[in-house]
Amino acid sequence: MIEGAKWRRWVYFYIPLGVFVLWLLFPFYWMLVTSVRPDRELYRPWMAPNYAPFWTAHPTLVHITDLLTETLFIRWMANTLFIAILSTVISLFCGLLAGYALSRLKFRFAGTLGTGIFITYLVPQTLLFIPLADIIRDFQLGDTPWALILTYPTFLIPFCTWLLMGYFKAIPRELEECARIDGATRWKAMLYIIFPIALPGILSAGIFAFTLSWNEFIYALVFLSSAEQKTVSVGVTSELVRGDVFFWGQLMAGALLGSIPVAFIYSFFVEHYVAGLTGSVKG
Amino acid sequence: MARVLIRNLNKFYDKDVHAVKDVNLEIRDKEFMVLVGPSGCGKTTTLRMVAGLESISSGQVLIGDTVVNELPPMDRDIAMVFQNYALYPHMSVYDNMAFGLKMRGMDRGEIAKRVQDAADILGIGEYLKRKPRQLSGGQRQRVALGRAIVRHPQVFLFDEPLSNLDAKLRVQMRVELKKLHTRLNTTAIYVTHDQVEAMTLGDRVVVMRGGVVQQVGEPLELYNSPVNRFVAGFLGSPAMNFAPVAVRDDDRGLRADNRGFAIEVPAEIGPRLRPYAGRDVILGVRPQDMQVANGSHPPGLCFDAMVEVVERLGAETLLDLQVGDQTMVASVEPTVGAKRGDKLRFAMRPERLHFFDTTSEAAI
């Protein structure tokens, strides 16, 4: 902490922190205000005498009801949830096994394999979608949720594997050895000792994977074409921007509602999540 | 109850590091065997091979009459206590102790009874519901011991279990371990780098160095008749003094001298040392075997020394001495009022002198 006179705390800590928080939260505030602002205020030119961009005197829920009734937003939410949950489960399962094997088992090429997995994570999605599109077409998965459920793990598995590898390495080897002497097979030692201890790490890998697939844009944009198959991020931007007409109110309402599940998950697991990233196992 | 037999045991890491070299040991039934040596001497690797945590490069390990080389750790009927306790942090003390029994499918009533018994023996009954992080170091060590003893294994393996405790607690736990062994009467293999633990706990002690067993024997046997310079220097505190001496055999009898002193070789060592006449050997004498000379000591074993440092420990006083161009340590009675710079005359106890070959370092 900052020591000395009280003003030092304000100058060096609270004020910079306050500015930082305002800076981060402003887009969300803008999103909220825009989504409840009536259209006549939204499209008022900025030089008009009663222009008040940061506040509205006549809040309305019309954009939100429009979004829920006149667009496929609920369908998009359901699609996104289904895709995000399934791809997270697949990635977490593979990541757990791969992370454990790479950090704990001694076998030839373990190091090379680990690096190989990491390198696949470094290939940008903006390049990878081209060959993937070809594969998706060959398997006739285009315009189905499986196109995304099976492609998201290409970047989620390396991510989960590396995060969990680091976490498993931090768990003292003796714990597992002791369990194996105590009568547990390697599987049981993994299940009863290693995984429960690594729970914060597993949770943060899961949350991260979920968020990444929830927010993913480019694969969803390329692999899905019909409106009822779309995910939130693609659906909102493609269906609510028609030509050069931006339905700002509905766009912002969609963005707001679309970020609620992620925000909810984060706030629910925030303590585990922080512990997972700072990676501390206390014996 | 079982003996452990280790035959021609070898361990190679990556083909070029030879960590354990041709170790042969018999740990008798109900014996408390201590493996001691400096770090990297192969003692822990040997223990881990017995436990099944490390693969055996060549040789055999037998527990009872079974060759266990290929058995997984869980089937060897052993229990191990680790240096860092290795308690499962997410389980209560009770669950930690019960884990091994649950894994073996024992019924709940029997588990509860065994855990309670072990907890009573170790005095941890009131902590059974706590998590390991809520316990002090000493309590954690007790839980780790408890987890081992509930299993009623054939062999206990200890890997430096007291090293993480503070000095006072370590002495206390050492005594308790000794009591526990008397009570349980189970074969135990104990690895430590602390020679005091080795001397006090072991029925027998194995001194290892560089993967090779140096000497096996009862603690006092090792202390009194070390087979080489390494064992002599490793056991005992403060460590034995070593000084190169030249052996001379002339009309005045067999003598060993260097620049600081010239001593007459006691008659009982004479025959063994005579072949070395005209050559250099290493003289070893323990700090406790040097006394301030008071006239009654045979003059042939006396020498002059200058006091450089005085360390008063209460029960004894350690004097760092300059003898010729050598430094030596003497442990004397606290009543000796020596000061820095004093010149004193010391006498060695003739029956406690050790001589070692300069090249092979083996005892003569």
Provide the shortest C-alpha distance from residue B156 to chain A (in Å).
11
Q: Which of B85, B104, B133 sits opposite A183 (nearest CB)?
A: B104
Provide the shortest C-alpha distance from residue A193 to chain B (in Å).
7
Residues of B in contact with A283 (CB under 8 A): 84-87, 89, 132-133
CA A88, CA A211: separation in Å to the nearest integer?
Answer: 9
pLDDT band at A106 (very low <50, low <70, confident <90, very high): confident
- Are A175 and B103 inside 8 Å of each other by CB? no
Contacts of B208 (CB under 8 A, 6+ apart): B23, B35, B36, B37, B41, B42, B43, B46, B214
pLDDT of residue A159: 92
- Are A183 and B74 inside 8 Å of each other by CB? yes
Is the pLDDT reported for residue A149 higher than 90?
yes
User: What is the Cα gyration radius of chain A?
Assistant: 24
Which B positions 120-149 lie with beta carbon below 8 A of chain A?
132-133, 147
Residues of A in contact with B71 (CB under 8 A): none
Backbone angles phi, psi at B282, to 5 degrees: -110, 130
More confident residue, B175 or B16: B175
**Tens-place pLDDT, residues B310-344:** 999 988 999 999 888 888 999 998 888 888 888 88
DSSP one-letter string for B46-59: HHHHHHTSS--SEE
Is the pLDDT reported for residue B76 higher than 60?
yes
pLDDT of residue A242: 83
Query: Which stretches does DSSP call E strand in B153-227?
Result: 155-159, 187-192, 204-209, 212-217
Residue from A154, A138, A144, A137 nearest A90 by CA:
A154
DSSP one-letter string for B221-290: HHHHS-SBHHHHHHSSSSPPEEEEEEEEEETTEEEEE-SS-EEEPPTTTHHHHGGGTTSEEEEEE-GGGE
DSSP one-letter string for A134-177: HHHHHTT-TTSHHHHHHHTHHHHHHHHHHHHHHHHHTS-HHHHH
CA B84, CA B164: separation in Å to the nearest integer?
Answer: 7
Q: Which of A183, A192, A197 sits opposite B89 (nearest CB)?
A: A197
CA B92, CA B187: separation in Å to the nearest integer?
Answer: 28
pLDDT of residue A1: 60
Is the pLDDT reported for residue A161 higher than 90?
yes
Residue from A61, A56, A51, A6 nearest A29 by CA:
A56
pLDDT band at A280 (very low <50, low <70, confident <90, very high): very low
Is the pLDDT reported for residue A278 higher than 70?
no
Give me the sheet containing B262-264, strands edge to edge.
B262-264, B253-257, B241-250, B280-285, B354-357
pLDDT band at A282 (very low <50, low <70, confident <90, very high): very low
Provide the shortest C-alpha distance from residue B364 to chain A (in Å).
43
Q: Which of B82, B83, B133 sits opposite A282 (nearest CB)?
A: B133
Is the pLDDT reported for residue A273 higher than 80?
no
A189 touches A183 (CB < 8 A): no
pLDDT of residue A44: 82
State what percent of residues in chain A have pLDDT above 90.
Answer: 50
State what percent of residues in chain B have pLDDT above 70.
Answer: 100
CA A172, CA B87: separation in Å to the nearest integer?
Answer: 10
pLDDT band at B356 (very low <50, low <70, confident <90, very high): very high
A25 residue type, one letter: L
Annotated domain spans of chain A: 1-60, 63-278
pLDDT band at B227 (very low <50, low <70, confident <90, very high): very high
Mean pLDDT of the residues in chain B: 89
Is domain A63-278 classified as CATH 1.10.3720.10?
A: yes
DSSP one-letter string for B7-44: EEEEEEETTTEEEEEEEEEEE-TT-EEEEE-STTSSHH
B174 touches B138 (CB < 8 A): no
Set out the domains of chain B in order of their start, with CATH numbers.
4-234 (3.40.50.300), 241-357 (2.40.50.140)
Half-sphere exposure of B249 (CA within 13 A, CB side): 13
Is the pLDDT reported for residue A148 higher than 90?
yes
For chain A, say whether B319 makes contact (Cβ under 8 Å). no
Mean pLDDT of the residues in chain A: 88
Q: Would you say the C-alpha torsion A199, A205, A208, A210 has a positive or negative sign?
A: negative
For chain A, say whether B87 makes contact (Cβ under 8 Å). yes
B21 residue type, one letter: K
pLDDT of residue B329: 92
**Tens-place pLDDT, residues A37-70:** 888 888 888 888 877 788 888 888 999 999 999 8
For chain B, say whether A281 makes contact (Cβ under 8 Å). yes
- Are B151 and A182 inside 8 Å of each other by CB? yes
CA A283, CA B135: separation in Å to the nearest integer?
Answer: 10
Q: Would strands B204-209 and B32-36 be described as parallel, antiparallel, or unpaired?
A: parallel
**Coil, strand, or helix at residue B155?**
strand
Is the pLDDT reported for residue A3 higher than 80?
no
pLDDT of residue A2: 66
Q: Which of A175, A180, A181 sits opposite B88 (nearest CB)?
A: A175
Which of B49, B99, B130, B131 best probes binding to A when mutated, by most A CB atoms within 10 angstroms? B99
B25 touches B6 (CB < 8 A): yes
User: Could you tell me the pTM of the whole model?
Assistant: 0.81
A7 residue type, one letter: W
Contacts of B58 (CB under 8 A, 6+ apart): B8, B9, B10
What dihedral angle (degrees, nearest 10) is formed by the CA atoms of B227, B229, B233, B235? -10
Structure tokens at A193: 């000792």
A249 touches A71 (CB < 8 A): no
Residue from A185, A197, A178, A195 nearest B105 by CA:
A185
Is the pLDDT reported for residue B130 higher than 80?
yes
pLDDT band at A80 (very low <50, low <70, confident <90, very high): very high
DSSP conformation class of B295 = S
pLDDT band at A274 (very low <50, low <70, confident <90, very high): low
Mean pLDDT score, B67-84: 91
pLDDT of residue B67: 92
pLDDT band at B109 (very low <50, low <70, confident <90, very high): very high
Mean pLDDT score, B102-111: 92
**Tens-place pLDDT, residues A187-232:** 999 999 999 988 888 988 998 899 999 999 999 999 999 999 999 9
ipTM over 0.90: no
CA A273, CA A208: separation in Å to the nearest integer?
Answer: 9
Which of A176, A182, A187, A272 best probes binding to B when mutated, by most B CB atoms within 10 angstroms? A182
Mean pLDDT score, B137-155: 91
Angle subtended at Cα B16 by Cα B15 and Cα B21, rounded to the nearest 5 degrees = 90
Mean pLDDT score, B300-308: 87
Is the pLDDT reported for residue A35 higher than 60?
yes
Provide the shortest C-alpha distance from residue A170 to chain B (in Å).
13
